[in-house]
Amino acid sequence: MSQEIENVQACDDRHADAALRIAPVVLAGGSGSRLWPMSREQFPKQLIGIVGPASLLQSTVQRLRDFAGARDVAAAPIVVCGDDHRFVTAEQLQASGAQARIIAEPARRGTAPALTLAALAACASSGDAIVVAMPADHAIADTPAFQRAIERAADHAERGAVVTLGVPPVRPDTGFGYVRLGAALGDGAHRIGRFVEKPAEELAAQYVASGEYWWNSGIFVVRASVWLDTLERLQPEMHEACVAAFANGRGDGPFFRPALEDFERSPSDSIDYAVMEHLGSDATPAQGVVVPLEAGWSDLGSWDAVWDALDKDADGNVARGRVVFEGATASLAHSEGRLVACVGVTNVVVVETDDAVLVVDRSRVQDVKGVVERIKAGHGPEANTHRKVRRPWGYYDSIDQGERFQVKRIVVQPGARLSLQLHHHRAEHWIVVRGTALVVRGDEQFLLSENESTFIPLGIQHRLENPGKVPLEIIEVQSGSYLGEDDIVRFDDTYGRA
């Protein structure tokens, strides 16, 4: 790691004749509670195929893989995600063929520290690069137009500007922040006048009518060295904490894990508040530039935005999954299993999952976040997890539960294994329905084939492993006085979990 830190310190000493290459950075730390019940705390919207078969994370990484511009693009994008989501993030990136560098944030500190870690990683690997920081949970319909905007932004960034992509608005919208345009720069870009918070409806209409405001897309383009220098000038405490967290971090398989104690010292703040709103001041020589993005962009920040981004039938309806419309108009219905029938409704959103159903008027979709807060206040598990829960070894699906029992379907990927563990309050029965299981139970170790079963008594160390070439599927019946997931005492874990 010492050599990498030397590279970071020398980041702004690189003066190559060739254009700086682009380092794609994907910020994947959001929770997306407004898209509940599909998006949840432990499986947020960037990991879900909201508008297509690929997840939003996979689609975001793909946008710069086949870059058509004149610049080289780093083969391995940098993905910054929460520590809790690192395994499923790695799984999705591997499935999409992306050889990404994953930085697992040990704590939530906002987008500014996340971008700082990515800039440090970019400097450590290449000396300097033009960082293109993209939220992982947006949709862009026209990838070539997006790439052209990035190429234009990169030209400004190479000359030392901190660039954001602004979306010329097609309607007044109270769900977006806005950028007021400053002086024109001759290529469609402008100096940044100022940033504006999400406005009330009347004010948003005034912004759009004036032609002087663009939506703030949250996509930023900046030289890694310029970002680090600007942050050090404006937010020295954040800069120091992030540099220390990076210097004292460690590699962990496919992940880089910044030091927790150092990273927790960083103030929590967004890119806009920490840096963008201060550009052009006496505190920093860096100038802010906004480049137009006209590529069918959506932040997918609500179910209404999802409806707007998807193709509709002649009545303005969007159907996903097993859905039937009868006399319905301007509605969205999403089913993950059961048949959803919408009759005579207008402007509604219906979302069906295994354990929750949402019905909301499209004019009130911003209030879904409040529903999630109420579920959390009542300690409802539906706010945080789906019935189907991903784990680094596979997943489990809670099929049924009642007083003193719970039934799960457990799928373990080939070569994967659960931790060596015990439970203080429950016993478990395992029935193999597909594949072969290698079971550790106390001092015993044995194989189970299809249609064979075993019993794990309360308080006995045990482990389940898949030694085969096909997924292992078992039915687990738990019984006992307490069946929560926190009744797990781990003695050994392949994936480094506590």
Q: pLDDT for 212-239, tens place per residue?
A: 999 999 999 999 999 999 999 999 999 9
What's residue 250's pLDDT? Answer: 93
pLDDT at 70 over 80: no
Q: What is the DSSP string of 271-314?
A: HHHHTGGGTTSTT----EEEEE--S-EE---SHHHHHHHS---T
DSSP H or E segment with residue 23: strand 22-28
For the four alpha carbons of 333, 366, 57 and 84, in that order, the dihedral sign comes to negative
Q: Quick one: average pLDDT of 278-304? A: 89
**Tens of pLDDT, residues 305-319:** 999 999 999 999 999
Main-chain phi, psi angles of 225, to 5 degrees: -65, -35
8 Å CB contact between 462 and 427: no
How many degrees, rounded to 5, is the angle at CA 437 between CA 433 and CA 440?
135
What's the CA gap between 218 and 279, in Å, rounded?
A: 16
Percentage of the chain modeled with pLDDT above 90 = 79
How far does the chain reach from its first CA to its final CA, in angstroms?
Answer: 25
**Tens of pLDDT, residues 6-49:** 555 557 554 444 678 999 999 998 776 889 999 998 899 999 99
**Tens of pLDDT, residues 234-257:** 999 999 999 999 999 999 888 999
pLDDT band at 137 (very low <50, low <70, confident <90, very high): very high
What's residue 498's pLDDT? Answer: 72
For 347, counting Cβ atoms within 10 Å of its Cβ (0-12 exposed, 13-18 middle, 19+ buried), the class is: middle
pLDDT band at 296 (very low <50, low <70, confident <90, very high): very high
What's residue 66's pLDDT? Answer: 81
What's residue 280's pLDDT? Answer: 78
What's residue 125's pLDDT? Answer: 83
CATH of 388-492, one of 1.10.390.10, 2.60.120.10, 3.30.200.20, 3.90.930.12: 2.60.120.10
Percentage of the chain modeled with pLDDT above 70 = 96
Where exactly does CATH 3.90.550.10 map onto the chain?
2-301
pLDDT at 492 over 90: yes
**Tens of pLDDT, residues 72-129:** 888 899 999 999 899 999 999 998 888 899 999 999 999 999 999 999 999 998 789 9
Query: The domain 2-301: what is its CATH number?
Result: 3.90.550.10
If we measure between CA atoms, which residue out of 464, 378, 458, 382 comes closest to residue 423?
458
Mean predicted lDDT score pLDDT of the chain: 92
What's residue 74's pLDDT? Answer: 86
Where exactly does CATH 2.60.120.10 map onto the chain?
388-492
What's residue 2's pLDDT? Answer: 43
What's residue 12's pLDDT? Answer: 55
**Tens of pLDDT, residues 348-401:** 999 999 999 999 999 999 899 999 999 999 999 899 889 999 999 999 999 999
What's residue 1's pLDDT? Answer: 42
If we measure between CA atoms, which residue out of 389, 424, 426 comes closest to residue 410?
389
